[in-house]
Structures are given as structure tokens and as C-alpha cells.
Amino acid sequence: MAVDMNMPILIVDDYKTMLRIIRNLLKQLGFNNVDEAIDGSDALAKLRAKDYGLVISDWNMEPMTGIQLLREVRADEKMRDMPFIMITAESKTENVIAAKEAGVSNYIVKPFNAATLKAKLTSVIGNF
């Protein structure tokens, strides 16, 4: 099945510069339908109001972290199967294990580039 290059994508990060970087990388890869949220609770409200094809979320945010957001998404029947990519500056094994146990689709360690993002996206949504 072909990847919908126009699917809505939600990017979540409490750092404006990171949101801009992720948006620009997605644009380079051909994805232009991108919404932003500044933390997990903001993201959850947006996810409940609109159908997204993918979530790319930072781990470290306040007041709701990316891992808490992931757990909420996986607990919600409507969003349970949504592809969810976690981004973090920490590559600690226990974090990767916690994210996997919570149902993350894939994991990106900062810093990363368009090639890394494309590889992670391809593993989650298929070739594009």
C-alpha cells in the first residue's frame, strides 16, 4: 500500500527549535501536513480532536512526558494502532526498553538527520 504523503502528522516537543527542525526534515521528505504540540497534554487534546497518521514525540517534556503520552495513546482504542516514533537525547537501554514496553513504533536518538528520520519512518509506515 502506498504511503499517504498528505497524511496528518503530529510532532510534539516543548522546544520550539526542535519542532522547526523536525518540520523541516519532514518537508524535505515530502510530508507537509504537519501539526505541532508543545507537550504531551497538548498533543493528547489534538489527537482526540483529529485523526493523525503518525505521531513523532520528544520524550522529555513537562508536564506530560512523551512516554506518558505514548501510554495514553496505546490505552485509547481509537488511537491504539497509530504509528508513534519517540525522540530522545538519551540512548539509555532502560529508556529504549520502557518505550518498547509501552508500545513505541520506533525510536530516534538526537541528533539525527533526514536520512535517519526517513529510515525510521520507512520502518514504521512503509517505503515512500
pLDDT in tens, the chain (128 residues): 689 999 999 999 999 999 999 999 999 999 999 999 999 999 999 999 999 999 999 999 999 999 999 999 999 999 999 999 999 988 888 998 999 999 999 999 999 999 999 999 999 999 99
Q: Is residue 124 part of a domain?
A: no
Cα separations in angstroms, 53 against 4, 56, 84, 104: 9, 10, 9, 14
Burial 93-113 (b: 16+ CB within 10 A, else e): eebbebbeebebbbbbeeeee
pLDDT at site 1: 64
Report field, pTM of the whole predicted structure over 0.95: yes
Q: Is residue 121 part of a domain?
A: no
Contact 96, 71 (CB under 8 A): no
Here the cell at position 41 is 497534554
Q: List beta partners, residue 34.
A: 9
Alpha-carbon gap, residue 5 to 118, rounded angstroms? 13
Contact 86, 102 (CB under 8 A): no
Q: Is residue 10 part of a domain?
A: no
Q: Is residue 101 part of a domain?
A: no
Q: Is residue 44 part of a domain?
A: yes
Q: Is residue 56 part of a domain?
A: yes
Q: Is residue 46 part of a domain?
A: yes
Q: Is the preceding peptide bond at 83 cis, omega within 30 degrees of 0?
A: no
Structural domain range at position 44: 15-88
Domain count, the chain: 1
Task: Identify the three-state secondary structure at position 102.
Answer: helix
pLDDT at site 85: 98
Q: Is residue 112 part of a domain?
A: no
Instruction: Identify the CATH number of the domain in which residue 68 sits.
Output: 3.40.50.2300
Contacts of 111 (CB under 8 A, 6+ apart): none
Count of C-beta atoms within a 10 Å radius of residue 92:
10
